[in-house]
Amino acid sequence: MSTNTTELPDTEAARLSPRVISHWIDGAEAPSTSGRTAPVYNPATGVVTADVALADEAEVEAAIASAQRGFEMWSRFSIAKRQTVLFAFRELLNARKRELAEIITAEHGKVVSDAMGEILRGQEVVELATGFPHLIKGAFSENASTGIDVYSLKQPLGVVGIISPFNFPAMVPMWFFPVAIAAGNAVVVKPSEKDPSAALWLAALWKEAGLPDGVFTVLQGDKLAVDGLLTDPRVQSISFVGSTPIAQYIYETASKHGKRVQALGGAKNHMLVLPDADLDLVADQAVNAGYGAAGERCMAISVVLAVEPAADELIEKIQERIAKLRVGNGAGQDGVEPDLGPLISAQHREKVSGYVDIAEADGAKVVVDGRGLTVPGHEDGFFFGPTLLDEVPLTSRAYTEEIFGPVLSVVRVKTFAEGVDLINSGQFGNGTAIFTNDGGAARRFQNEIQVGMIGINVPIPVPVAYHSFGGWKQSLFGDAKAYGVHGFDFFTREKAVTSRWLDPATHGGINLGFPQND
Please give the pLDDT value at position 335: 84
Strand partners, 155: 493
pTM of the predicted structure, to 2 decimals: 0.93
Q: Judge whether 298 counts as a catalytic residue.
A: yes
Q: Give DSSP secondary structure letters for 350-363.
A: HHHHHHHHHHHHTT
Please give the pLDDT value at position 517: 65
CB-based contacts of 176: which residues, under 8 Å, 6+ apart? 160, 162, 187, 239, 482, 483, 487
List Cβ<8 Å contacts ≥24 apart for 12-19: 14/47, 14/48, 14/49, 14/50, 15/47, 15/48, 18/48, 18/49, 18/50, 18/51, 19/50, 19/51
Q: Which of the following is catalytic: 64, 172, 254, 298? A: 298
Please give the pLDDT value at position 95: 97
User: From residue 194, how far is each of 169, 191, 221, 305, 512 by CA, in Å?
Assistant: 9, 8, 10, 33, 64
Please give the pLDDT value at position 15: 52
CB 48 within 8 A of CB 40: yes
Q: At what angle do helices 171-182 and 112-130 cross, to 10 degrees?
A: 10
Digits of tens for pLDDT over the chain (518 positions)? 232 333 334 455 445 568 999 999 999 999 999 999 999 999 999 999 999 999 999 999 999 999 999 999 999 999 999 999 999 999 999 999 999 999 999 999 999 999 999 999 999 999 999 999 999 999 999 999 988 999 999 999 999 999 999 999 999 999 999 999 999 999 999 999 999 999 999 999 999 999 999 999 999 999 999 999 999 999 999 999 999 999 999 999 999 999 999 999 999 999 999 999 999 999 999 999 999 999 999 999 999 999 999 999 999 999 999 999 999 999 998 889 999 999 999 999 999 999 999 999 999 999 999 999 999 999 999 999 999 999 999 999 999 999 999 999 999 999 999 999 999 999 999 999 999 999 999 999 999 999 999 999 999 999 999 999 999 999 999 989 999 999 999 999 999 999 999 876 666 566 676 666 66
Three-state DSSP state, 30: strand
Distance of CA 474 to the CA centre of its chain: 16
Strand partners, 493: 155
Please give the pLDDT value at position 510: 65
Cis peptide before 376 (omega within 30 of 0): no
